[in-house]
């Protein structure tokens, strides 16, 4: 699958770090078992990195995250295993447009499940954030935005932005299928260059979302309304996009779907086997993680 980094998925999850850490499971490319076993520590580090939590907040975060973590490992891991197994079965037959859309819808559904489960606890913790901690968050955003600009070459020419886009895509494809032939790289580069440019619009939309979050946080004292407002903001993350970006993204998404199908059709049997094994490994990792965690819990006094 090369449509996107699944739930990259997802700069929008950086705010709600408890959900962000779980969502990493959908975009991780290696060491899933090791990473998942340390998810509570990773989430705590991310939360502190963004908000500079005090001791009481750190303790509260740990307690609330553990509830989400427990639900996730018992109810979601088996679902993830089944999802990747189904993805593998579809890939084995050769991708069609509906398969790519099914995969993307599956990622979105699992993201929504995380939001619905974790947003109440997240809202309770966010309600304790002090003004100085929001300033720390904005400083971290500035670092993130500069990193985004560097990665996507926003301060350089359009040609350099295109070259960086091609390099990223080729790396993503190689990560799933192994090495590519020079001819395949050229064909993929042509497909990528046919995509509408979205990088600068994406950057502007990131800043918009950050501003929206600050406005949302101004309502955090209302304990009755704030959780629902946060949940809506997380789920309806496309709302409020500039008309130009909305149109450009629609065009980009459709071409990206077509590109995924086209790349699938140029794969050799070896490359397809490589991708199939990756998906099988994901399914196996999630299955074994769920089994191991159940055994560990059963042994606890």
Read off the tokens for 116: 């619905």
Q: pLDDT for 1-32, tens place per residue?
A: 554 433 333 333 333 444 444 344 444 434 45
What is the DSSP annotation of 177-243?
H----HHHHHHHHHHHHTSPP-HHHHHHHHHHHHHHHHHHHTTTT-TTTHHHHHHHHHHTTTTT--H
Whether the pLDDT of residue 213 is over 90: the answer is yes
Give the model confidence (pLDDT) of 137-176 as tens digits.
999 999 999 999 999 999 999 999 999 999 999 999 999 9
The stretches of the chain forming alpha helices (DSSP H) are 17-23, 32-37, 39-51, 55-71, 77-93, 97-126, 131-151, 158-177, 182-193, 199-217, 226-235, 243-265, 269-299
Q: Which residues contact 178 (CB under 8 A, 6 or more apart)?
A: 270, 271, 274
What does the pLDDT look like over 233-281, one tens digit per residue? 999 988 999 999 999 999 999 999 999 999 999 999 999 999 999 989 8
Q: Where are the domains of the chain?
A: 11-299
| Paired tokens of 179 | 């090495």
Rounded to two decimals, the pTM is 0.85
Closest CA to 274 of 185, 184, 189, 179: 179
Residues 279/283/286/290 CA torsion (nearest 10 deg): 180
């Amino acid at each position: 699958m090369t449509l996107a980094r699944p739930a990259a998925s997802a700069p929008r999850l950086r705010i709600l770090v408890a959900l962000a850490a779980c969502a990493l499971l959908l975009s991780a490319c290696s060491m899933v078992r090791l990473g998942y076993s340390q998810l509570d520590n990773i989430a705590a580090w991310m939360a502190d990195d963004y908000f500079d939590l005090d001791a009481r907040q750190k303790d509260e975060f740990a307690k609330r995250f553990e509830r989400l973590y427990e639900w996730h490992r018992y109810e979601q891991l088996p679902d993830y295993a089944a999802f990747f197994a189904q993805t593998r079965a579809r890939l084995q037959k050769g991708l069609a447009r509906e398969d790519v859309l099914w995969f993307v819808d599956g990622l979105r559904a699992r993201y929504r499940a995380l939001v619905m489960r974790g947003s109440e606890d997240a809202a309770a913790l966010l309600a304790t954030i002090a003004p100085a901690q929001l300033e720390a968050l904005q400083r971290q955003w500035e670092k993130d935005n500069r990193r985004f600009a560097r990665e996507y070459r926003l301060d350089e020419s359009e040609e350099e932005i295109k070259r960086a886009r091609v390099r990223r895509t080729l790396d993503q494809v190689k990560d799933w299928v192994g090495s590519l032939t020079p001819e395949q790289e050229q064909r993929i580069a042509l497909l990528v260059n046919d995509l509408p440019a979205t990088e600068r619009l994406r950057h502007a939309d990131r800043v918009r979302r950050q501003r929206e979050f600050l406005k949302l946080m101004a309502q955090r004292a209302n304990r009755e309304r704030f959780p629902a407002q946060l949940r809506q903001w997380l789920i309806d993350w496309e709302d409020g996009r500039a008309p130009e970006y909305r149109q450009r993204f629609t065009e980009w998404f459709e071409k990206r779907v077509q590109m995924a199908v086209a790349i699938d059709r140029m794969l050799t049997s070896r490359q397809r086997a490589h991708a199939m094994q990756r998906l099988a490994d994901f399914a196996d990792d999630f299955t074994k993680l769920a089994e191991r965690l159940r055994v560990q819990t059963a042994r606890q006094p």
